[in-house]
Structure 1
Amino acid sequence: MSSIWEGIHERLLVKSVDQNGNIRPVGVLDNDSIRPTPTKDRKWTRLTYLFFWFSATANVSNLYASSTGVSMGLTMWEAIACSFTGQFLAGCLMALNGRAGAMYRIPFPVLCRSSFGPWGALWPTFNRAVMSIVWNGVNVTQGAQCLYVFLHAIFPSIARIPDRMGPKSALSSAQMICFLVYWLINCAFLVVPVPKMKKLIYIKVVVYYGGAFAMLAWVVRLAGGNPPAIHEASTVHGRAKSWLICKFLILGLASCGTFISNAADLQRYARKPSDVILAQVISFPLSGLLVAVIGNIIAGCSRSIFGELIWNPLTFLDKLMDGERYTPGNRAACAFISLAFVYSTVFSAIFENSIPAGNDIAALLPRYITVKRGFFICAILSFAICPWYLLATAAVFITFLSSYQIFLSAIAGVLICDYYLIRRGWLDIPALYTARTDGVYYFFHGFNLRGFGAYLVAVAPNFYGFLNQMGVKAPLGIQRFYFVAYPVGLLIAFGVYYLGCLVWPPAENEKTGGWKEPKEYWDEFDPDRVDGVEAVTVLPVVVKDENGAKTGLDVSGKV
């Protein structure tokens, strides 16, 4: 019996290889899938990243993301402007926080080890893994609703399936069938290696915007060509309006908190570090702007057609097939549009949730879990948490998810300060994969108390406002202060961490000034490393292994 368990254990162990393709031992902090991305997998170019953000923002929920501002009194264009400005700021922060990923090709969990310690990094990693799993469940639920609209357009009988789910479920029995089918479709695409997904990114952009523009043209025609809702004036004025603009501008930034924190996960596949900058700063906010304009015009048309404002485009599509509207033409249009949304939602879930969760889960147990295994663990857990019940029964659920960004902002502040001001662009990569007590990043029993101190100090001022979002009563001043919670948390974490490192400098952190980032970096186990390194000139950087032997790049670029 023991031999059976030993065999199972042996199969579960992750097999990693060295530079020559030989099996190498895997430590508690190391396996191939969380090592720096090898040269052969650095396939994402500047064009890929430009298209990536148009692809990543191409989902159904972003079509009505700025609707809350309109419902609270802002004009459609004011709400869109707030969202665009916030996303532009988020793009700048993504470029900053993702630089280490683009340079050293390391994922977020490994990057956290330089500022939180090898064991301390498990906390931000676990936090983000949980959030990614929950959001993946939310996205799969939305994908199931897209699939239901598609099947309803083809099979009218699906709407007559008796509902056995009860009032506590956000999905009916028919939609639960769609949930299972959609979940299986999502899992099927998880087998595609991330570096090879760039073709799917291009396809998603064409498919999504084809469906979105088709719906836009259709409903504008049904609304008579000029829906009055998009010309309505603001219903709030003076100081109240100023606070609303402040709130939704920062909300546009805070809603991108996950993208900011996991920027390294997405930028580690870059062909070269400079390929990601333009996409982050320009393509990301422009793509969000385009989707918001389309979504708000579509929603504005609903009032002219039905006499009520319908923000969710899936509800809108299904309503276009009610009763006498269930015509062959309407059914064909709804089928085409909803199928485009089904495809786009699959890859939104993968890019926004599966990839970050895969990296996080792999970093939690690298001896047993690769990034690909992490993808499927995320998929299984996102099913197991029954998101259809969470969405229907917890009134504060979505508010909690959006408010959780105050914790991510503190993490981002620490990471940005550590890379730019403390490390000045230089990371000892082999040391990030060891838990040796004499390691550069071991700190205090594997925890960097400076990082955790900055994290707690940054969260504290915003915590009362966070509780207010959960239903606890708070004064008006606290409520308004919470509007700027994300930048406040990020800046406090940044400042406190820097002061902590000045007062209590990290061991072996050189006090000499100057930027120390290499021009290029290859992992010690990259099979293409020798050929590539010989052709590169770098800054004076020496990377050593656990025994003090040189394994990185010296001033000549030779090993």
Structure 2
Amino acid sequence: MSLLTSLHEYLLVKSVDQHQNVRPVEFLDNDSIRPTPAKDRTWTHLTYILFWFSATANVSNLYASSTGLTMGLSMWECVGCTFGGQFMAGCLMAFNGRAGAMYRIPFPVLCRASFGPWGALWPTFNRAAMSIVWNGVNMVQGGQCLYVFLHAIFPSIARIPDHMGSKSALTSAQMICFFVYWLINCAFLIVPVPKMKSLVYIKVFVYYGGAFAMLGWVVSLAGGSPSSLGAPSKVHGEAKSWLICKFLFLGLASCGTFISNAADLQRYARQPSDVILGQILSFPVSGLLVAVIGNVIAASSETVFGELIWNPLNFLDKLMEGERYTPGNRAACAFISLAFVYSTVFSAIFENSIPAGNDIAALLPRYITVKRGFFICAVLSYAICPWYLLATAAVFITFLSSYQIFLSAIAGILLCDYYVLRRGLLHIPQLYTANASGIYYFFHGFNLRGFCAYLVAIAPNFYGFLNQMGVAAPLGIRRFYFVAYPVGLLVAFGVYYLACLIWPMEGVEVTREWKEPEDYWDEYDPDRVEGVEGVPATIGVRSETTANSA
């Protein structure tokens, strides 16, 4: 056997059947993207409540809301916009992730029902790119957190000459910390996702412990009442109304990856109902709490330093400058920044590595598992040089808003397909085959209805998107782009529905009957045959039979 043949055999993903025998798989199939087996459905009500409560528990959300202060909004207007946007996002997550909770399938497999087995590669690639970018952003923040921690212990790190330039959010010393943080992140990717429950619980307490500690500290430094805490907005009239509109829907658009990620995370639920409360309630409430903390910290900076510091990590580092480099300040900054390091590691994993791993695995299932996808994501997140995304508040706002039109169109199509057209019924085995006789094969593996809706939904917002990338545009176009996410979602929903009425899809009939099965177990799940404690094997068999007969 030649070296190339041996390498090829090593890279091929080995899949097994319900009897643990190696099974032949097609090009679109491997065990890691199949429905989650019963033994891995371990996430409960509590897990999802704390997970979504911790979803906003990262450094970027501390200053995502407070960036509105730099544009002239008051603190409470910033907080209200963040809460409103994230409440809408939480509701969309609950709906968009339902198929993942019921059938235990990830986002890229769900896309095959709407775009076809080959057509689904585009939305999968699109979402993978966004997850990789967000992963890089989280890693930049992790490197900054680690720098603050090391600066509190080793003052000499601040004297390392900087060769990164003004367009970088990281200095040379912070780049060293970025690399160390990247290695730490990669080390945790080895942990299987179903066993990460305890890490979710720990993250909530560690992050909020550090955030509240910083809040109490900086408010005390500001004399107990920051001067700008109750300050009115600096803009008025029409300009203020449009600015509120911008940040309200920016709060929604910045959760675009969360909305599309929902299926990837819900597939580990014990039962579909376990996920609802966490998404609709704890996610926006957590966003509200983080926004208040972030805005109060930013407001305190004006009293303490005489200038608005929107990044809390820069705030911490300034608290150790000059005569402030005292043992007490160093200890406080060390503990707070270490809490942020921990929380940022798992923000990157839960919210970016897991979705990207699913996407990358679905792009080439014969050779890539979800776990291999994690590490590919980590390498690409380094390669895109994310430290240039966070240099200023304006760059960060532009980054948040620029990708929304693509994800909103995909979300609208998936919602229409699952709820209105298919009424909750998916034929799971056929989502893993490119057989021309399959009901999801459509036109040579592409559902032209889905791509028609996708392009039409992007069109109204594309000029605004180009403006975000530097192309000049009139004021009306710039303002219309503020509502790009809901416009893209609703247009995609409506156009896809009309396209399917004009050109009906095979296996879809217009009916009011809800067709979701009682439960679904994968055909290769060993517990479906042997039974699992408290759940007879007949449940899985009955449910699949119900789904197929419907």
TM-score tier after normalising by the smaller chain length: over 0.9
Distance 1:218 1:235, change over 3 A: same
1:238-317 alignment runs, 5 A limit: 238-317=237-316
Give the letter for the 1:209 counterpart: Y
The 5 A counterparts of 1:19-418 are 19-389=18-388, 391=390, 399-418=398-417
| Structure 2: distance between partners of 1:216 and 1:7 | 57
Contact 2:253 2:400 in 1 (8 A): no
Distance 1:428 1:198, change over 3 A: same
Deviation at 1:309, TM superposition (A): 1.1
1:149 deviation in Å?
Answer: 0.3
CA contact (8 A) 1:518 1:538 kept: no
How far did residue 389 of structure 1 move? 4.6
CA–CA distance in structure 2, aligned partners of residues 511 and 533 of structure 1:
34
Alpha-carbon contact 1:45-1:270 (below 8 Å) kept: yes
Superposed displacement of residue 312, structure 1: 0.6
> Which one of the candidate residues 533, 536, 539 is aligned to 1:536?
539
Give yes or no for contact 1:190–1:350 (8 Å, CA) kept in 2: yes
8 A contact 1:125–1:360 mirrored in 2: yes
Change in CA separation of 1:228 and 1:181 when aligned onto 2, cut-off 3 Å = same
CA deviations 1:409-441 (Å, max 9, x no partner) are 000000000000111000000000000000010
Equivalent residue pairs, number: 546
CA distance in 1, matches of 2:504, 2:211: 53
User: In 2 relative to 1, CA 279–345 (structure 1 residues): closer, same or farther, beyond 3 Å?
Assistant: same
Partner SS for 2:185: helix
Tell me the CA shift for residue 68 of structure 1: 2.8
Task: Specify the alignment match of 1:468 in structure 2.
Answer: 467
- How far residue 97 of structure 1 moved from its aligned partner, in angstroms, is 0.4
Structure 1 pair 38–205 and aligned structure 2 pair: CA distance change class (3 A)? same
Q: Deviations over 1:505-542 (max 9, x none)?
A: 00122344411001100000011113246453998864
How far residue 381 of structure 1 moved from its aligned partner, in angstroms, is 1.4
* CA distance, structure 1, for counterparts of residue 284 and residue 389 of structure 2: 30
Kept after mapping to 1: 8 A contact 2:89/2:252: yes
Give deviations 1:111-140, integer Å, cap 9, x for gaps: 000000000000000111112112211211
CA distance in 1, matches of 2:149, 2:20: 47
Cross-structure match for 1:549 = none
Q: Distance in 2 between matches of 1:224 and 1:397?
A: 30
Deviations 1:309-358 (A, max 9, x none): 11111000000000000000000000000000000000011111100100
What are structure 2's unaligned runs of at least 5 residues? none
Give the Cα–Cα distance (whole angstroms) in 1 for the partners of residues 167 and 537 of structure 2. 63
Following TM superposition, by how much is the alpha carbon of 1:400 offset from its aligned partner in structure 2, in angstroms?
Answer: 4.3
Identity across aligned pairs (percent)? 80
2:425 partner letter: W
SS in 2 for 1:64: helix
Q: What SS is found at the alignment partner of 1:375?
A: helix
> In structure 2, do the counterparts of structure 1 residues 30 and 5 end up closer, same or farther at CA, with 3 Å as the change threshold?
same
Structure 1 window deviating more from structure 2 (12-21 vs 534-543): it is 534-543
**Could you tell me whether the CA contact under 8 Å between 1:400 and 1:470 is conserved in 2?**
no
Tell me which amino acid in the other structure corresponds to 2:57. A
AA of the residue aligned to 2:74: T
5+ residue gaps, structure 1, are 544-551
TM-score where L is the length of structure 2: 0.96
Q: Distance in 1 between matches of 2:35 and 2:433?
A: 14
- 1:449 match: 448
Matches of 1:392 and 1:61, distance apart in 2:
13
Contact 2:123 2:410 (C-alpha < 8 Å) held by counterparts: yes
Residue in 2 aligned with 1:547?
none
Cα gap change, 1:358/1:170 in structure 2, threshold over 3 Å: closer, same or farther? Answer: same
SS in 2 for 1:21: coil
Q: Name the CA shift for 1:197/1:321 in 2 (closer, same or farther; >3 Å).
A: same
Contact 1:516/1:539 (<8 A) preserved: no
Deviation track 1:214-235 (CA, whole Å, cap 9, x = no partner) reads: 1111111111111121110122
How many Å apart are 1:393 and its aligned residue?
Answer: 11
- Rounded Cα–Cα distance in structure 2 between residues aligned with 1:3 and 1:393: 53
Aligned equivalents of 2:344 and 2:159: distance in 1? 26
Matches of 1:117 and 1:433 in 2, distance apart? 11
Deviation of the 1:469 alpha carbon: 1.6
Q: In structure 2, do the counterparts of structure 1 residues 372 and 95 end up closer, same or farther at CA, with 3 Å as the change threshold? A: same
- Equivalent-residue separation in structure 1 for 2:58 and 2:92 (angstroms): 22
Give how far 1:402 is off.
2.7
SS of the equivalent of 2:515 reads coil
Q: CA separation in 2, counterparts of 1:111 and 1:248?
A: 30
SS at match of 2:424: coil
TM-score, length basis structure 1? 0.94
After TM superposition, give the deviation of residue 175 of structure 1 in Å. 1.2
Return the alpha-carbon distance in structure 1 between the equivalents of residues 8 and 518 of structure 2.
Answer: 41
User: For the structure 1 residues 49 and 489, does the alpha-carbon distance in structure 2 shift closer, same or farther, using more than 3 Å as the test?
Assistant: same
Letter in 2 for 1:348: S
- Output the amino acid matched with 2:77: E
Greater displacement, 517-526 / 401-410:
401-410
CA contact 2:254–2:400 (8 Å) conserved in 1: no
CA deviation after TM superposition for structure 1 residue 240, in Å: 2.4
Contact 1:520 1:538 in 2 (8 A): no
Q: CA RMSD in A?
A: 1.9
Measure how far apart 1:554 and its partner are.
Answer: 6.2
Q: Against the structure 1 CA distance between its residues 166 and 7, is the aligned structure 2 distance closer, same or farther, given a 3 Å change threshold?
A: same
Equivalent position amino acid for 1:500 in 2: A
Counterpart code for 1:176: M
SS in 2 for 1:229: coil
Q: Which amino acid aligns with 1:536?
A: I
SS in 1 for 2:64: coil
